[in-house]
Copies of this chain bind each other. A is one copy, B any other.
Amino acid sequence: MNHRYSERICSTQKSFIREILKVTANPEIISFAGGLPNPNLIDDEGIQKAAAAVLKEDGKTALQYSTTEGHPPLREWIAERYRIRYGLTVDADNILITNGSQQCLDLVGKVYLDKGDAVIVEDPGYLGAIQSFSMFQATYLPVPLDEEGPDLDCLTGVLETSSAKFMYGIPNSQNPSGITYSENRRRDLASELCEHEIPFLEDDAYGELQFDGVARKPVSAYMDGEGILTGSFSKIFSPGMRMGWVCAPDAVMEKILIAKQASDLHSNYLSQRILAKYLEENDIDAHIAGINKEYRKRAEWMVSKMDKCFPDDVHYTRPTGGMFVWLTLPEGVSSGELFEAALKRNVAILPGTPFYADGGGNSTVRVNFSNSDKEEIEAGIEIVADVLDEIRNSPQ
């Protein structure tokens, strides 16, 4: 049969990272490629207790169809955390529970994007977002990042010459670059976007994973209630349960609700109930502090090893949160080549190229530290250094 597929699907690539994850499932491989939380920091025992309690106390209801918006106490918990942690004026009605925060990108894409519409993205930007918006045939307006966040001169130029539907960004420990926007930049960015009436889709996957434990006000906090925030329990609870949320002003939420109904009716209700029960019965702040302590250690192990093994012309970030170190390789070494050679020695890294919506980034590499122990980190980085050396010294 001659299937006549849509333009949208024919112009969207498979996710390189999802394909790599299949290779790295092999336990012999040291994988720095993914973004997996450390399994030792997933509280399976606490979740087991919460699951047992929910199914015992109210199983018939927890297993039945539920509302599109999500479980009210869970939505209220999220809203309250925004109020307390960030001073946002939101309530449960502004929260909708999604199937992981990746689904927020799909829903917001549905709500704003028609074929050819432009989205302002960070350069480099999160590849999962680029893939998601591509389903709606978006075009991209990349804005480079400096150490404090998006380059505002460049953004102003883009805003004055183009018509974007929204800007997408990750202000805390940006994926992949690791950059955290400064407070001034957040304020200035918000003011610039508001002036041009461009909504900011603020992906806060790593807001809780800041090693210093400081809560940084989101860009949305400076936008007079007009920001759209996405969040995730994947990094602080369980990624396999796919619990995320979107927070949006009432008028936008009305549209998101339609998109959610059409997409899958509602998110997994049993998992929402287990999560709500877990949050009730456990000290999530202590749990998060424990994760940050562990990830900080792992980041330090990785960076120390890089300090020892890497030549001076390899540049890399010193993470203050999140899960990744971002490398810039010396001229003449391509990340694709390094990836292939390291994989032959059973170490997986992630070339940075898929993070660049308009191509480029050939000298960049993302390296994950959250999902490896000290021995793996040290052995893996040593191999990457070896391989890099071999590539540079091999006859061209």
Question: Residues on A close to B: CB < 8 A?
Answer: 1-9, 12-15, 18, 21-22, 34, 36-37, 39-40, 42, 44-45, 47-48, 51-52, 55-56, 59-68, 98-100, 102-103, 106, 110-115, 117, 128, 131-132, 134-136, 165, 194, 197, 199, 226, 234, 238-242, 251-252, 255, 257-259, 261-271
**Do A128 and B18 form a contact, CB below 8 Å, given A36-B64, A39-B64, A56-B48?**
no
Q: Are B36 and A44 in contact (CB under 8 A)?
A: no
Report chain B residues within 8 Å CB of A226. 1
In the complex, the chain B residue whose C-beta lies closest to that of A55 is B48
Minimum distance in angstroms from A221 CB to a CB of chain B: 15
Contact among B4, B67, B110, B194 for A135, CB-based, below 8 A: B110
Copies held by the complex: 2
> Which single residue of chain B is at the shortest CB-CB distance from A193?
B1
Distance between Cα atoms of A59 and B238 in the complex (Å): 10
Chain B residues with CB under 8 Å of A117's CB are: 6
- Assess A8 versus B68: contact at CB under 8 Å? Given A47-B59, A194-B1, A262-B132: no
A100-B264, A252-B3 given; A258·B12 CB < 8 A: yes
Distance, CA A257 to CA B5, complexed state (A): 13
CA A67 – CA B199 in complex, angstroms? 33
Q: Are A263 and B103 CB-contacts (below 8 A) given A5-B112, A67-B22?
A: yes
- Residues A13 and B258 in contact, CB atoms below 8 Å apart: yes
Contact of A65 among B36, B47, B264 (CB under 8 A): B36
Tell me the minimal C-beta distance from A227 to chain B in angstroms: 10
Are A63 and B36 in contact, with the CB atoms below 8 A?
no
Nearest-CB distance from A131 to chain B (Å)? 5
What are the residues of chain B within 8 A of A128 when measuring CB–CB?
Answer: 262, 265
Q: Determine the distance from Cα of A37 to Cα of B66 in the docked complex, in whole angstroms.
A: 12
**Shortest Cβ distance from residue A110 to the other chain B in the assembled complex, whole angstroms:** 6
The reply to whether A262 and B45 form a contact with Cβ atoms under 8 Å apart is no
Q: How far is the CB of A328 from chain B (nearest CB, A)?
A: 27
- The answer for the CA separation of A265 and B63 in the assembled complex, in Å, is 23
Supposing A36-B64, A60-B42 touch, asked if A264 and B99 sit within 8 A by C-beta, the answer is yes
**Given A112-B6, A135-B262, A262-B134; A270-B271 close (CB under 8 Å):** yes
Contact B136–A6 (Cβ < 8 Å): yes
Pair B239/A63 contact, Cβ less than 8 Å:
yes
The docked-state distance in angstroms from the alpha carbon of A51 to that of B39 is 19
